Amino acid sequence: MTADTASEPYATARRTDAGAVIFELEDVAVTLQSERAERQILEGVTFRVREGEVVGVVGPSGTGKTTLLRVLSGLIRQSAGTVLLDRKPVLAPTQEAVTVFQDYSSALLPWRTVERNVALPLEGRTTKSERRQRVLRALEIVGLADRVDEYPWRLSGGMQQRVQIARALVLEPRVLLMDEPFGALDAITKGSLHDQLLDVQAKTGATIVFITHDVEEAVYLSDRVMVIHGAPGQIVHEVHTELPRPRDQIATRDLPRYNAVRHELAQVLRDGGIA
């Protein structure tokens, strides 16, 4: 991969002083109204995400992972507490933080080609030639520049998910929010997409917050893993993985530190908190 040439516009835009706080959540609670009763989904969620960080959120199903991500993206509003993106309250979705959904086949538009799917968010905002350039650059980053004229449903699941990632990247967001991005894919595809995502992150410097129920995935990808647990869901634990980058499917997974983190997380998930 020619990381230098392909990533240049992103790299210059993103390589700010690493470490500035981009997301700041303070005592966030979410209550959703269902048919008869209201149900509290999240309670007392407080954390920060720094620029350029890869943060994984793991937890069993039904603990409010997706709700947390929807709050970060502005798709729903919290019932209490504050959610700041770059020190401004999140009131609605912005193109600073774009979501990639798990169900790529229903998130892509089947009547549009790959190129026109990725171009969708830029239409009416840029000139035609600039749009085409940015679309090709985003597709290059995910390695799909040669599939522009295909319809997404002709591609494999992994490729479709990369199209969705390219469609988010084309907006040059500061944060990618990913809702179980690889949950619907087989193990082999998953592994190669993990490396591609880390490659995308290295090229763009984007902050990534993703949720998963797969502990191994969380450890392999993240700088920091948070565990969400309970009903209503709370952040019960947090680990800095402290694993070297670039990561390697074989070498990284052989590191004692990898196993130690995995072990710690598995224990927390089993016991529902630190004993």
The answer to whether the beta carbons of residues 166 and 147 sit under 8 Å apart is: no
Q: CB under 8 A: which stretch of 97-105, 201-209, 219-227, 229-237 binds another protein?
A: 97-105
Work out the end-to-end distance of the chain between its first and last CA atoms, rounded to an integer number of angstroms: 45
- Give min distance, CB of 137 to another protein, in A: 17
- List the one residue from 80, 148, 151, 230 that touches another protein (CB under 8 A): 151
Q: What are the DSSP E strand ranges found in 146-233?
A: 175-179, 207-212, 224-229
- Give min distance, CB of 85 to another protein, in A: 13
- Give min distance, CB of 219 to another protein, in A: 27
Nearest residue (CB) to another protein, 153 versus 256: 153
The verdict on 207 binding another protein (CB under 8 A) reads: no
Taking the CA atoms of residue 141, residue 142, residue 147 and residue 152 in that order, the dihedral angle to the nearest 10 degrees is: -140
Give the tokens for residue 52: 């350029």
Closest by CA to 217, choosing from 177, 258, 176, is 258
Q: How far is CA 272 from CA 60, 68, 228, 232, 236, in A?
A: 10, 18, 9, 13, 8
Residues in 4-23 that interact with another protein by CB under 8 A: none
Residues in 111-140 that interact with another protein by CB under 8 A: 111-112, 120-121, 123-124
Q: CB under 8 A: which stretch of 20-28, 38-46, 129-137, 164-172 binds another protein?
A: 164-172
- Give min distance, CB of 98 to another protein, in A: 5
- Give min distance, CB of 166 to another protein, in A: 12
The three-state secondary structure class of 165 is helix
- DSSP labels for 45-104? EEEEEETT-EEEEE--TTSSHHHHHHHHHTSS--SEEEEEETTEE--S--TTEEEE-S-H
- List the one residue from 13, 109, 251, 274 that touches another protein (CB under 8 A): 109
The verdict on 153 binding another protein (CB under 8 A) reads: yes
The verdict on 75 binding another protein (CB under 8 A) reads: yes
- List the one residue from 67, 78, 99, 234 that touches another protein (CB under 8 A): 99
The verdict on 171 binding another protein (CB under 8 A) reads: yes
The answer to whether the beta carbons of residues 211 and 218 sit under 8 Å apart is: no
Rounded CA gap, 64 and 28, in Å?
Answer: 12
Residues that bind another protein (CB under 8 A): 73-75, 92-95, 98-99, 101, 103, 106-107, 109-112, 120-121, 123-124, 151, 153, 167-168, 171
